[in-house]
Amino acid sequence: MNLLNGIDYGTPKSESENLVTLEIDGITVTVPQGTSVMRAAAEYGINVPKLCATDSLEAFGSCRLCLVEIEGRRGYPASCTTPVDPGMKVRTQTPKLADIRRGVMELYISDHPLDCLTCPANGNCELQDMAGVVGLREVRYGYDGENHLRMEKDESNPYFTYDASKCIVCNRCVRACEETQGTFALTIDSRGFASRVSAGQKEDFIDSECVSCGACVDACPTATLTEKTVIMMGQAEHSKITTCAYCGVGCSFKAEMKGNEVVRMIPNENGGANHGHACVKGRFAWGYATHKDRMLKPMIRSKITDPWKEVSWEEAINHAASEIKRIQAKYGRGSVGGLVSSRCTNEEGYLVQKLVRAAFGNNNVDTCARVCHSPTGYGLKVTMGESAGTQTFDSVMKSDCVLIIGANPAAGHPVFASIMKRRLRQGAKLIVVDPRTTEMVKSPHIQADYHLKLKPGANVAIVNALAHVIITENLHKPDFIKERCEVDSFEEWAEFVSLPENSPEALEPATGVPAADIRGAARMFATAKNSAIYYGLGVTEHAQGSTTVIGIANLAMATGNVGREGVGVNPLRGQNNVQGSCDMGSFPHELPGYRHVSDSTARAEFEAVWGCTLESEPGLRIPNMFDAALEGSFKGLYCEGEDVVQSDPNTQHVTAALEAMECVIVQDIFLNETAKYAHVFLPGASFLEKDGTFTNAERRISRVRKVMPPKAGYADWEVTMMLSNALGYPMNYKHPREIMDEIAALTPTFTGVSFKRIDELGGSIQWPCNDEAPEGTPTMHINEFVRGKGRFINTKFYGSGERPSKDYPFILTTGRILSQYNVGAQTRRTFNNMWHSEDRLEIHPDDAAEKGIKQNDWVGIKSSAGETVLRADITERIQPGVVYTTFHFPESGANVITTNSSDWATNCPEYKVTAVQITPVNQPSEWQRTYNRFNTQQERFATTDMVPREPAATK
């Protein structure tokens, strides 16, 4: 249960604009129509006892504790299920009501263990509180009769316990799983006295459909569903609000602490992105932050074949700085560069790019957005003028038609998926464009109206075919286009998409999708009142990634679906701060706020504040850095919080490039795969150990708050500062708030942003936030596009160079799953491994039969880049001719297979389309054997006795 989130009003807020006035206990109250009597009372400080009601769920009316008397009505209606009426006169406290409530409580308590003093919920239990509120003094019924007190606990979930003996069958958990999470994993089994909560078909939680989001645990008013950490550690002593460090949803949490130890993370009901909900990662999988694998000592070595030498912070920083200076003196100023982490805060990202531009003196800075959403930046900028998503997550609640392209929010953005599913259950239409049958296509009470199960690499063809139908059937919005867009560009585009070659029928061989389905989907999208597009890496990580983003923007503009709630173009950005790292100027061609380095006015502003001269030419992108390293001109890399060896394509190319460098400096919390190729290791700090901000996929800037001291002595921003100072470029910030003040002073879209302002606005701000929008901008492009008029651009379809051939007859596509996160460095160090302990290769049954592959067999996968081996998972989720895997485990080597093929505009790798051959095998690939030997050696180098796991001496 979660009583620490403030007042529980019992039932959800009514959104009605009509007000109703009534009288409760002699007080005149005015509330929106549709408000329950319980909530109306609570809003005026009158608390009616309750057990089955909570304000995050619709009223259920089962416990009968909240009965009231209403003048002129017979009996005692439940205040949680009774809506207010004008002139109603309600009494919440009478001797008769007190009697009834005591009787109800007596029955509950007579079948409840009286172990309050040793119960983990003691002091934080609604049943205990209500017993006190109703004045229960005795229980007349003994324990001799039938009861539930000896029921067994279900301990199968690694994060929470289900103790059925404490269940009061209030149904809150069942409703939370349905309404809040949308998984429908729980039921009330049996009837009457025998009824109890059941996961699935009387399964253990771990074997059921439960995805361990924790919503039921938060909703439970007793200790029936309780976090195991609370059982172990007891109730928290203090708490701080912070932001999840996993995905781009950016859920707000209350970190509940005992001293410097986290007891639990409670989703914050005031969180603008999550409204009190969470997923298994943010809610439970935070143990990595204090895992024994954390590297807490700075280390250096001359060669990667040497063991690490533990050194003081001072020696490590001085060594790193002298190596950078040596390399630049020998090979030139452009021979070094840096990578900004999308896991770190905005302030830390800003400092790394500043270090590169001001202290290294070049623009060789890039970030992992290069390999995920750089096409979003390009495609949305050229069409609409701003490279970020247009809406809030809540906007989907006003959508009538949702088009998801190349994204699986249920796995990648789970809390947003829950919001979206709620809207879909209310009746919004759904079109999914995906080569796989994802959870968004079909799950409890969700069924896509159209699933366009396209061949990987055919996104542009699908988008063009949809546009063809919209234009040729006159389903576009001429008024919107005339008023808001460049009409010439529209006419040129309309002519292009109307060409017969762009019809669904002509493109059917390329898309693999029946033309009639595309026609139906196009009509559904164009004719709904509000249609919204959500897309992910299944759009961007293609050779034509930028083209598809442009095509998506074209579709939204042509149908007038931009500039209000319920519509828009919504890139589901992957990592917690990937939006922020882009905003902070982490690309080689852009200063903070997306101002091009060739813009002399922008450069002059930064030069004046930074006290240096800036390069006017864009620097190297990540793949260019690797190519230059192999050519011999790029020799040094400062890599903060990014694991390019595991995350970037063509692993062997990446490792060869790192081996060709003379100084690789890795700053991370773990000895990640890239650190195994490093010469300097600087310990990083987890999100719990620092102050700052993250920016989520809605452009929402949220505070990250330090809840424990940095385990290695310094937060990441302090380490970057020390490195800069050692290089001779002074940085002297006392607190991240000063860094944000500098960002705000130099970035027009951030002018109004400060830590103080974020606090004033309740915890977050959506940029742009400036004089024109002092409270931020939830919806973009309302009256006009950021670039003025929206611009249509033709999107000619070219099939991917990675296409099936005699040698490589299958297409490999990749994705992620709910329980693991990206390279898995964090989630692999948690109990989340119980759900997914290895990457598997999904194969269609027909292909498996033809190849003689059975479930769990080892399968060799070979591409032009390399070869690896994974176990088979035979499933109809995937279509014939296509195989699929995740990439969360380094030993899987999924990126050994992916090639250097990349987006034409941004170099974003084409992870989603690789031509491969598959064969049954009985041993790991050559690469895997080499990896295992190398990995064992590197782990030994870092775990000798000379590397104690204690903090190094700090300031």
E strand segments, 491-643:
531-535, 568-571, 590-591, 595-596, 636-640
| Nearest CA among 62, 257, 248, 79 for reference residue 167 | 62
DSSP characters over 121-168: TTTS-HHHHHHHHTT-----S-SSSS-STTPPEE--SSSEEEEGGG--
Rg, the chain, Cα only: 29
Contact indicator for 298, 320 with CB cutoff of 8 Å: no
∠917-920-921 over CA atoms, to 5°? Answer: 110
What the block records as the tokens of 440 is 């968004």
Instruction: Supply the minimum distance, in Å, between the C-beta of residue 170 and ligand FES.
Output: 7
Cα separation, 210 vs 112, whole angstroms = 26
Nearest distance from C-beta of residue 701 to ligand FES, angstroms: 38
Q: Report in angstroms how near the CB of residue 277 gets to ligand SF4 at its nearest.
A: 8
Closest approach of ligand FES to the CB of residue 173, in Å? 14
Helices (H), 611-688: 622-631, 644-647, 651-659
Q: For residues 494, 499, 505 and 509, what is the CA-based torsion angle, rounded to 10 degrees?
A: -110
Residue 61 binds which one of ligand FES, ligand SF4, none, with CB within 5 to 8 A depending on kind? ligand FES
Nearer to ligand SF4, 12 or 520 (CB): 12
The count of residues in the chain is 955
The smaller minimum CB distance to ligand FES, of residues 50 and 679, is found at 50
Out of 244, 578, 658, 731, the only residue in the binding site for ligand SF4 (CB under 6 A) is 244
- The tokens for 127 are 């049943």
Interaction partner, residue 177 (ligand SF4, ligand FES, none; CB < 5-8 Å by kind)? ligand SF4
**Which of 66/299 has CB closer to ligand FES?**
66
Q: Does 827 bind ligand SF4 (CB under 6 A)?
A: no
Binding to ligand SF4 by residue 246, rule CB under 6 A?
A: yes
Q: What proportions of the chain, in percent to the nearest 5, are helix, strand and coil?
A: 35, 20, 45
214 binds ligand SF4 (CB under 6 A): yes
Question: Which residue stretch of 180-188, 326-334, 662-670, 860-868 sits at the interface with ligand SF4 (rule: CB under 6 A)?
Answer: 180-188
Min dist. Cβ of residue 47 to ligand FES (A): 11
What is the nearest approach in angstroms of ligand SF4 to the Cβ of residue 189?
Answer: 11
Region from 245-253, 551-559, 731-739, 943-951 binding ligand SF4, contact rule CB under 6 A: 245-253
The alpha carbon of residue 427 and the mean position of all alpha carbons in its chain are separated, in whole angstroms, by: 25
- Grouping H, G, I as helix, E, B as strand and the rest as coil, residue 693 is strand
Output 187 or 472, the one with its CB closest to ligand SF4. 187
Q: Which of ligand SF4, ligand FES, none binds 212 (CB below 5-8 Å, type-dependent)?
A: ligand SF4
Angle between helix 716-727 and helix 313-331 axes, rounded to 10 deg: 50
Q: How far is the CB of 60 from ligand FES (least distance, A)?
A: 7
Is 415 a binder of ligand SF4 (CB under 6 A)?
yes
Q: For residues 186 and 209, what is the distance between their CA atoms, to the nearest angstrom?
A: 9
167 is a site residue for ligand SF4 (CB under 6 A): yes
Residue 139 Cβ, how far from ligand FES at the closest point, in Å? 20
Is residue 211 involved in binding ligand SF4 (CB under 6 A)? yes
Contact indicator for 897, 916 with CB cutoff of 8 Å: yes
What part of residues 706-765 is at the interface with ligand SF4 (CB under 6 A)?
Answer: none
Contact 915, 802 (CB under 8 A): yes
| Candidate residues 39, 275, 281, 836; the one interacting with ligand SF4 per rule CB under 6 A | 281
Give the integer Cα–Cα distance in Å for 369 and 697: 12
Q: Which two tokens stand for residue 499?
A: 């060409």
Asked if 701 interacts with ligand SF4 (CB under 6 A), we say no
Binder of residue 167, out of ligand FES, ligand SF4, none (CB less than 5 to 8 A by kind): ligand SF4
Q: Which is nearer to ligand FES, 49 or 592 (CB)?
A: 49
176 binds, among ligand FES, ligand SF4, none (CB under 5 to 8 A by kind): ligand SF4
Least Å distance, CB 11 to ligand FES, is 9
Instruction: State the minimum distance, in angstroms, from the CB of residue 442 to ligand FES.
Output: 34
Shortest spacing between CB 100 and ligand FES, in angstroms? 12
Q: What is the DSSP letter of 953?
A: P
Residue 408 binding partner per list ligand FES, ligand SF4, none, with a CB distance cut-off of 5 to 8 Å that depends on partner kind: none
Determine how β-strand 867-874 pairs with β-strand 858-862.
antiparallel
Q: Which stretch binds ligand SF4 (CB under 6 A): 99-107, 162-170, 633-641, 646-654?
A: 162-170
- Find, among 448, 394, 400, 398, the residue nearest to 427 by Cα: 400
The CB-of-88 to ligand FES minimum distance in angstroms stands at 17
- Interacting residues with ligand FES (CB under 6 A): 50-53, 61-66, 78, 80
Angle, to 10 degrees, between the axis of helix 515-527 and the axis of helix 459-472? 60
Segment (H or E) for 840: strand 840-843
Cα(674)–Cα(598) distance, integer angstroms: 32
Minimum separation from the CB atom of position 221 to ligand FES (A): 10
216 binds ligand SF4 (CB under 6 A): yes
Residue among 38, 213, 682, 708 that touches ligand SF4 (CB under 6 A): 213
Nearer to ligand SF4, 263 or 719 (CB): 263
Residue 64 contact partner, candidates ligand FES, ligand SF4, none, CB within 5 to 8 A by sort of partner: ligand FES
Query: Smallest gap, in angstroms, from Cβ of residue 176 to ligand SF4?
Result: 5
> Of ligand FES, ligand SF4, none, which one sits near residue 658, judging by CB under 5 to 8 A according to partner kind?
none
Cis amide linkage into residue 768, ω under 30° from 0 = yes
The answer to whether 781 contacts ligand SF4 (rule: CB under 6 A) is no
Output the CA torsion 818→821→824→829 (10° steps): -70
Residues within window 249-268 making contact with ligand SF4, judged by CB under 6 A: 249-251
Measured from the CB atom, the residue of 80 and 177 that comes closer to ligand FES is: 80
Element (H, E) at 416: helix 414-425
Chain centroid offset of residue 258 CA = 27
423-425-430-436 Cα dihedral, nearest 10 degrees: 110
Q: Which of 59, 68, 80, 225 lies at the binding interface for ligand SF4 (CB under 6 A)?
A: 225
Give the integer Cα–Cα distance in Å for 288 and 711.
13
First to last CA, the chain: 41
Chain residues binding ligand SF4 by CB under 6 A are 167-173, 176-177, 181, 183, 185-186, 197, 210-216, 219-222, 224-225, 244, 246-247, 249-251, 274, 278-279, 281-283, 414-415
